[in-house]
Amino acid sequence: MSTLLQQYFLDSLSQDAKAPAVHDGPRTYSYGELDEIVEHLMSALTRHGLKAEDRLVMWTEKSAVTVALMQAALRLGIIYVPVAPSNPISRVKQVIELARASFVVTDGPIGFATRLGSSTLDLLLASEQDVVPLAPTISPDDPAYILFTSGSTGVPKGVTISHTNARAFVDWAVVEAGVGSDDRLSSHAQFSFDLSVFDLYGAFAVGAAVDLIPSSAANNGTALAAFIRERQITVWYSVPSALMLMIDHGGLFIARAPDDLRVMIFAGEPFPLGRAKALLETWAGVRLMNWYGPTETNVCTGYELSASDLTRNTPIPIGYPASGANVTLRPGPDEGEIVVNGPSVMVGYWGQAPQDGAYATGDFGRIGVAGEIEYVGRSDGLVKIRGYRVEVGDIEAVLGLHEAIQDVAVLAVGEGTDRSLTAVVVPKGGRRVSLLGLKSHTATHLPTYMIVDRLHIVETLPRTPNGKVDRTHLAHAIGKELE
C-alpha cells in the first residue's frame, strides 16, 4: 500500500468516482471530475518544465481548481508552497526567493517582475492537454509541501512536511474524529495554514467531501454560522476565534445544534474556558475536541471534552499524545517545555539543516491530575493572534523600517476575539506617528493578520538588565492603561 499523500484521493477515486469530493460554492466536483482537472494540470505543469522536487508557489484563493493543483503537484513529485491571497506582493516575493521556487501560479496576472515561470489557473486550464505524464518514483520521506510561518528575525520560515509527516497526522485524525465517507468537512483555514491539512486530506482519506469556505466569509460570524447549517457540515475544524465570532455575532447558541453537525474541533490557540463550557452544555450531542501542535509537528496532542469539564476551573487541556508522537516535558517530568518526537515532526526548515530528533516547541506545559497535558504558555515572543502563529519580532522588524520610528515593541493584548496587536512606539526625533500610517506601512510587507491594531506612544521602552525589552513590565503597564 502506498504511503504517499496523494494516495488518499486516488484510493477514493477508484472506490467511487461519482462521489462528491469538493463543494466550491454552488458547484460540486465529484472525485472523477476533479481527477480530470488534476490530469490536465499535470500535463500543463510538465509542459512548463516542472519536475520532481521543484517548488511550486500557489498564490491563489481557495477553490476546487487550487485543490486539483495540489494533487497534480503531489503526483509529479513537485513540492507545493501555498501562499494566502491576503499576502502583499513583497511577502510573496520573499517566499518565492526563500523557497527557491521554479514556478508561480496565481488567480490573475502575477503583478510583478519575476525571472520565474508563471501562469494563472485559467491559463493552465485553457492550455491544450498532452498525454498525462507518468508519475515519478517518490519516497514517503520526500517533501510534499512547505508552509511558511512567521520568523523571529523578520524572515519567514519554511516548514517542510513530508508525505510521512502529513499522513501520520491525517491517519490519526480520521480515526480520532470518526470521519466516514458520508461526512461533509468544512474548510475554514487558508491552504497556507496547517489546519487545512485535515480538512482536505481527512476528507480524501475516506472518500468524504470537503466544503470550501470563501475568504470573504472567513471572519464573518453570521456567515459562518449560516454556513454550518445551510451546507449541512458534519465535521467542523477551525481556530477558537472563528467559533467565538459565531457565538458573538452569528447566534450560534440561539438555536439547537445544527442537525447534521456531530464533531467540532478547534486548535491553533487556547479556547476560553467559559466559552467552551457554554458550547459543551448547549450542544450536548456534538463531540468537542481540542487539538494542539505547532506547524513543525502537525497535531501532536488531542483532548475530547466531556461532561466532567463542566466543573473545570482550569484551562482546557491539550490532552494526550497524538499522531504517533512521543511528547515529553523538559526538564519535566511534571512541568516544562513541550518536546515532540515521532513521525509527524517536520523534515526541517527549508534551506536549513534537516530536523535532528525531537522538536522543542517553545511552549510550556504541565501534567494534570488525570495525566493529561495542560498548556501553560510561551517562552518567547511567539503569540497566537486570530488563530495564526505570529512572531512579534517579525512585525517589529518591519515597523523598525518606518522612518519615524526610533524603537518599537509589539504586544498581543487581550483574549479571544478581543486579542489584538499593540505597537508600542518610541518616535524618532519627536516625529508624528499615526496608527493609520503604521497600518499602511505593515500592509505592504506583512499578511493581513499581522497588521497592528493599536498604537501606544512612549518616551522609552523598559529593558531588562541584559538589555532586552522588558515585555512583562511593558505588558503590565499597557494593560493597566487600556483598562
| Order of strands, sheet of 103-106, starting from the edge strand that comes earlier in the sequence | 117-120, 103-106, 55-59, 79-83, 143-149, 157-162, 348-349
* Residue 181 pLDDT: 98
Average pLDDT of the segment spanning 85-102: 91
Q: How confident is the model at residue 111 (pLDDT cuts 50, 70, 90)?
A: low
Work out the mean pLDDT of the chain and round it to a whole number: 90
Q: How confident is the model at residue 301 (pLDDT cuts 50, 70, 90)?
A: very high
- Secondary structure of 143-162 in HEC code, one letter for each residue: EEEEEEECCCCCCCEEEEEE
Cα–Cα distance measured from residue 231 to residue 185, given in angstroms and rounded to the nearest whole number: 10
Share of the chain above pLDDT 70, in %: 94
* Residue 228 pLDDT: 93
* Residue 469 pLDDT: 76
Cα–Cα distance measured from residue 452 to residue 423, given in angstroms and rounded to the nearest whole number: 6
Cα–Cα distance measured from residue 89 to residue 403, given in angstroms and rounded to the nearest whole number: 21
- Is residue 110 over pLDDT 70? no
- pTM, two decimal places: 0.86
* Residue 209 pLDDT: 98
Domains assigned to the chain: 7-377 (3.40.50.12780), 382-482 (3.30.300.30)
pLDDT tens sequence across 407-461? 888 998 877 667 889 999 999 888 999 999 999 999 988 888 899 999 999 988 8
**Of the listed ranges 12-16, 249-253, 368-372, 432-436, the one predicted with least confidence:** 249-253
* Residue 266 pLDDT: 95
pLDDT tens sequence across 240-293? 888 888 887 777 765 577 889 999 999 988 887 888 888 888 888 899 999 999
DSSP 421-452: EEEEEEESTT----HHHHHHHHHTTS-GGGS-
Q: Please name the residues in contact with 405: beta carbons below 8 A apart, sequence gap of 6 or more.
A: 399, 425, 426, 427, 428, 433
Among 163, 165, 210, 209, which Cα is nearest to 189's? 210
* Residue 462 pLDDT: 86
- Is residue 373 over pLDDT 60? yes
Cα–Cα distance measured from residue 22 to residue 33, given in angstroms and rounded to the nearest whole number: 10
343 and 359 Cβ atoms separated by less than 8 Å = no
Question: Which has more pLDDT, 464 or 93?
Answer: 93
**Of the listed ranges 77-86, 88-97, 244-253, 276-285, the one predicted with least confidence:** 244-253
Average pLDDT of the segment spanning 456-482: 76
Rg over alpha carbons for the chain, rounded to the nearest Å, is 22
pLDDT tens sequence across 178-219? 999 999 999 999 999 999 999 999 999 999 999 999 988 988
pLDDT tens sequence across 153-179? 678 999 999 999 999 999 999 999 999
pLDDT tens sequence across 309-351? 998 878 899 999 999 999 999 998 898 999 999 999 999 999 9
What is the amino acid identity at position 45? Answer: L
241 and 387 Cβ atoms separated by less than 8 Å = yes
* Residue 428 pLDDT: 87
Average pLDDT of the segment spanning 76-86: 95
CA atoms within 13 A on the CB side of 263: 22
263 and 289 Cβ atoms separated by less than 8 Å = yes
- Is residue 483 over pLDDT 50? no
